[in-house]
């Protein structure tokens, strides 16, 4: 049988946005209930139930909203939270949600705004984005090669 915590965080996957929103407001309470030694487990459990489907804009909005709420809970997960929010900025239309969430995280860290937060994490972000890009491009490898060959042919004919 699943734990109460897992059942509760499982509701984050609900396609009813108002359910995810209300639960996203309450997930930080789990960090107060459970001790510091379990925070990473609670975070992973929560993250595992938040959608990462780029086709579901409302779900992505709830993902970054919930992650931003978690930024006010514990210092040990703040770095992970920021990286997962930056990742959401990559899918189409995810940027506006990510900027709002990063502004909330910056507030939790007592920074000037999301740009200050970006400056702190910028040295490792290109690596994160490149890894995600490699995964995305692996699915369309043939199309990418064909487009690159066409582009090279066009450039050669213009010379």
- Each residue's pLDDT tens digit, 89-119: 555 556 777 778 888 888 888 888 878 887 8
Residue of 67, 107, 60 whose CA lies nearest to 88: 60
The predicted structure's pLDDT at residue 131: 65
Q: Give the number of other CB atoms < 10 A from CB of residue 118.
A: 16
Q: Are 95 and 89 in contact (CB under 8 A)?
A: yes
Stated pTM of the model? 0.63
Averaged pLDDT for residues 61-67: 85
pLDDT tens per residue across span 36-55: 788 888 888 888 888 777 67
Q: Which pLDDT score is estimated for 93?
A: 59
Q: What is the mean pLDDT of residues 52-59?
A: 75
Q: Which residues are CB-neighbours of 92 under 8 A, at least 6 positions away?
A: 54
Higher-pLDDT residue of 122 and 116 is 116
Decide if pLDDT at 29 tops 80: yes
Q: What is the pLDDT of residues 127-151, one digit of tens each?
A: 666 666 666 667 777 777 788 788 8
Other Cβ atoms less than 10 A from the Cβ of 108: the count is 18
**pLDDT, position 34:** 80
Q: Range with the lowest mean pLDDT among 31-40, 52-61, 85-94?
A: 85-94
Which residue in the block uniquely carries the two structure tokens 């965080």?
A: 9
Query: Which of 144, 143, 88 lies closest to 114, judged by CA?
Result: 88
**Which pLDDT score, from 0 to 100, does residue 90 have?**
57
More confident residue, 82 or 95: 82
Of all residues in the chain, the percent with pLDDT exceeding 90 is: 0
Tell me the C-alpha distance between 40 and 122, whole Å.
Answer: 23
DSSP line for 62-76: HHHHHHHHHTTT-GG
Look at residue 6 in the predicted model and tell me its pLDDT. Answer: 75
Longest dimension (CA), the chain: 68
């Amino acid at each position: 049988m699943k734990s109460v915590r897992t059942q509760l965080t499982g509701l984050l996957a609900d396609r009813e946005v108002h359910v995810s929103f209300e639960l996203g407001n309450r997930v930080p309470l789990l960090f107060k209930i459970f001790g510091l030694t379990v925070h990473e487990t609670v975070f992973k459990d929560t993250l595992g139930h938040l959608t990462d489907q780029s086709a579901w804009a409302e779900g992505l909005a709830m993902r970054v909203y919930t992650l931003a709420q978690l930024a006010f809970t514990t210092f040990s997960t703040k770095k992970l939270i920021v990286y997962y929010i930056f990742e959401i900025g990559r899918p189409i239309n995810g940027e506006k949600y990510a900027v709002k969430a990063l502004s909330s995280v910056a507030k939790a860290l007592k920074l000037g705004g999301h740009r200050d937060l970006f400056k702190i994490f910028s040295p490792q972000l290109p690596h994160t984005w490149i890894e995600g890009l490699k995964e995305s491009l692996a699915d369309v490898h043939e199309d990418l090669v064909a487009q690159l060959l066409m582009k090279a042919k066009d450039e050669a004919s213009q010379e």
